[in-house]
Structure 1
Amino acid sequence: MADSGDYEVGYGRPPKSSRFRKGKSGNPGGRRKRRGPIKIDPLRILDEVFSVQRGGQTRQMSAKEIELRRIVKRAVQDKHFPSIVHLLALFDKHACTEQPQTSGVVTLPTNSMPHRMASLILEKFQLPPKDWKKRHLAWGRKQYAATMTDREREYEAAGILP
C-alpha cells in the first residue's frame, strides 16, 4: 500500500499523513535531567552531636570525638598499625607531641666533630649521642661539608674546631 510515490508503508514506516502530529513533541518524555554534584557540608556532619552510652551513662559527643576515640582504641588495644600511624600524624599536625627536654649537653662520639655537624645529626635523626651509627655520622659529615661557611672552612684549614 503506497501513500504517495515510492514510499512504502509498513513496520516502522507510518503513513506520511499521520507521521508528525501538529502540537505534539517528537520526544514527549524528553532527555533525562542531569543531576549535579551532591552538596554536602562535611564539617556540619562532623560537628553533629550524638548520644553515646559510656560506662552506663549517656553522654553527648560530636562525630569527630567519636571517630577519634575509635581510632585511639584500635591503636592502643588492637595495636592496629594504620591507626597508630594516623594518630601520630594527627598529633604531629596539631602539635600535640612534646619534644623531650635535655639538659643542653651533648656528648660527641668523637672529639673531632664540629658542633654544627652534631646539631645537624640531632635535628635529622633525633637520637641521643650514644645511639649514633656510622651512617648517621656519614650523613652529618656530608651535610656539614655541603653547607660549610667560609669561616668554618678557614677553621678547618687551620685545624681548629668551631
Structure 2
Amino acid sequence: MSNDFTSHSEAAEAGGKEYLVFTLGDQEYGIDILKVQEIRGYDSQTVTRIANVPHFIKGVTNLRGVIVPIADLRVRFNMERVEYDHQTVVVILNLHDRVAGVVVDGVSDVLVLQSSQISAAPSFGTAFSTEYLTGIGTLGERMLILVDIEKLMTSEEMALVDSAVT
C-alpha cells in the first residue's frame, strides 16, 4: 500500500470503502472487499467443465462441499485469452445468494477509496457493458475500474449455470 492512503481502519471510519484490486492485462479493477471470501491459485485440475453454459464459464469446482461456478473475467469482458500461470488466481466471492469464483490475472492489494476518489462510470470506452460498473477510482496516476461484482455474477447468464449444475 502506498503512502497516499490512510490505514484501512482509519479510512473505513472516515467513510472510505475497501476494494480488492485485481488485474486483467494491464488494467486494474476493484471489487468490494466485503464480497470476497478467499483467494486461491487457479488449478485447472480441480475445475470440471459442464455443457450448455455461457462461454465465459470455465466450469465448476467443489470447494469444501459447495459446488462453485468459475467464470473467466477475461472471456466475460471480451479480452484476449492468455495462458494461465502461477500468477493466475481465482477470487471466491460470497454473493447474496451464491458462492462463485472469478479467474483473474492476479491480485495486487486492498485499497481504501473515499467517495471523492470515485468518478461516475463512463458510458463508452470499455470492453464490457457499463451496467456492471460502479465507477472509476482515481489514486494519483492510478485508475481502477470499479466493478459491481454482485450484479455481474447474478446476471441471467449465471442463472444458466445454476440450471446446468442442478
TM over 0.5: no
TM-score category of the 2 structures, normalised to the smaller one: under 0.3
TM-score by length of 1: 0.23
TM-score by length of 2: 0.22
More strand by share: 2
Greater gyration radius: 1
Greater relative contact order (CA < 8 Å, ≥ 6 in sequence): 2
